[in-house]
Amino acid sequence: MQPLELLRKIVSIDSIFPKESELALFLGEQLRAQGFSVQMQEFENKRYNVLATKAGIGRPILLYAHMDTVPAYGYDNTERDPFKMHEEGGKLFGLGVYDMKAGIASILKATENMKTDKTIKVMFVSDEEADSRGCYEVTKTNFLKDVDFCLSTEMSDVKDAGESARTITLGRRGRAQYELAVPGKSVHAARMKEGVSAITQGAKIAIEIEKMNAELPRHEKLSHGDQYVRYFSSKSVSLSVPDNAILLIDRHLIFPETIESARKQIEGKINELYEQKKVREIDGKRARLILKPRDVPYLLPYIIPETNEHVKKLSRAVVKTLDAEPRFNYGLTVADENMIAMQGIPTITYGPIGGGEHSNNEWVSKKSYLELIEVLTAFLNG
C-alpha cells in the first residue's frame, strides 16, 4: 500500500482501548508479509501486543508504537466520522491519526523500504492510553532483553513551530499517585460546630498541596516537578458531618526525585499544616498518605544523552533527509517510553508534526508524515 492508503486503512480500524485486537491482527499480517517473525502476545482476553523480529547482525534496534486510541471525544458534535481520514489544507484528520497511527504507518513503510543486515525488532502495544499494561506485559518476556536501542514514533510534547523544524525527545518526567485519607469528626449537622468536617479539612490540604508547586525543585532538562489533586471524595449518608475524605494526588517526577522522596515531601507539608493548626488532629490522628496501589509499576523519569551514538545517527538522518538541524526536547508527561527506558534501554522519540490529540480535531501534517518515513528509512539504512 502507498503511505496515505496505509494510514487511511489504519485510521479506519477502531482501536479505542481496550478494543485493539483488529488492528493488532492487521499489523501482524503486514509485518509477516515483510519477512518478520511475529508473536501475538495476548495479555488479556483478545488484547494483543505485536512483537516482531527480523534477524540479522548485532543487537536489535527496536521500533515502538502504541495501537490504542482514546475514545472519540466530541465527534458527536461534528459531522465527521472519526474512522474516516480526510485531508484539508495539508493536514490529515481522524481519530488517533497523530496519537499515534501516523507513527505506526511510518514504521511499517520504513521497514518495508529498509536495506540493512542489522537485527530489527518492532513492538506495537495496547493500553498505552490507559495504564501501559501492554508495554508492562512485554517487560515480563525476553523480547526486550537484548535490545540495544529504542526509537519511538510517538508525538512530541512540544509542537514544532514550522515544518522546517524537527524535534527529538531525549527524556520524560516520571509520575506517581498518592492517596490521602483525611479524618474528620462526625456529629449531627444540627450541632456541626462540635464536629470537624473531613471535607473542609481535605479542602485546606488540597489547596496547600497545589501551592507546593511553587516550591518544587527544577531540573535543567526536565523542567520541574508538579502535582495536583485529581480526585476528592467525601460524603455522609445521613444528616451528619462527614468524618472521612479521600484525595488522590498526581505528581510528576524529575531527577533526583524518587517515588518515596516525593511521598515524604508531601507528607512533610501535611504534617506542617497540622503543627501550624491549619488543620485539626482527630483523636490524635492525622491524615494518612500512601502510594496508590496499582498492578503496573509507576513510570520513572529518564534522560538519554545527546552524545548517544543512536541519537547522533538519527540526527544525521534528519539533516541528510530534511536539510535541517534537529532540536532536542524533554517530555513533560509520561508514555510507554518511560517503561522501556526503565529496562535499561536508551530510548528516544521522533514523531510527526500534528495537534488536537484527544479531541475531535486531531490532525497530522501530511508533509511531516511522509518525511518521517524518509527519515526512519535513512536511519535504518545508515
Q: What share of the chain is helix, strand, coil (3-state, %, to 5)?
A: 35, 30, 40
pLDDT for 79: 85
Phi, psi of 138 (to 5 degrees): -65, -35
Residue type, 291: L
- To the nearest whole percent, how much of the chain has pLDDT over 90? 90
pLDDT for 382: 86
Identify the structural domains of the chain with CATH numbers, from first to last: 3-173+301-381 (3.40.630.10), 174-291 (3.30.70.360)
Residue 163 has pLDDT above 70, yes or no: no
Q: How confident is the model at residue 295 (pLDDT cuts 50, 70, 90)?
A: very high
Residue type, 166: R
Which among 175, 156, 166 has a CA at the least distance from the CA of 349?
156
DSSP, residue by residue, 136-158: HHHHTSSTTTT--EEEE-PPPSS
Q: How confident is the model at residue 78 (pLDDT cuts 50, 70, 90)?
A: confident
Residue 90 to residue 363: CA distance in whole angstroms: 10
**Cell numbers standing for residue 161:** 513551530
Which among 169, 176, 219 has a CA at the least distance from the CA of 347?
169
DSSP, residue by residue, 317-330: HHHHHHSS--EEEE
Q: Summarize pLDDT for 28-42 with one digit per residue, the tens.
A: 999 999 999 999 999
User: For residue 246, how many C-alpha atoms fall within 13 Å in the half-sphere facing its CB?
Assistant: 11
Q: For residue 63, list its beta bridge partners.
A: 122, 151
Which residues, in sequence order, are CB contacts of 237 under 8 Å at separation 6+? none
> How much is the pTM?
0.93
- To the nearest whole percent, how much of the chain has pLDDT over 70? 98
pLDDT for 77: 84
Residue 165 has pLDDT above 80, yes or no: no
Residue 172 has pLDDT above 60, yes or no: yes
Which residues, in sequence order, are CB contacts of 17 under 8 Å at separation 6+? 68, 69, 70, 126, 127, 129, 130
Q: Summarize pLDDT for 52-74 with one digit per residue, the tens.
A: 999 999 999 999 999 999 999 99
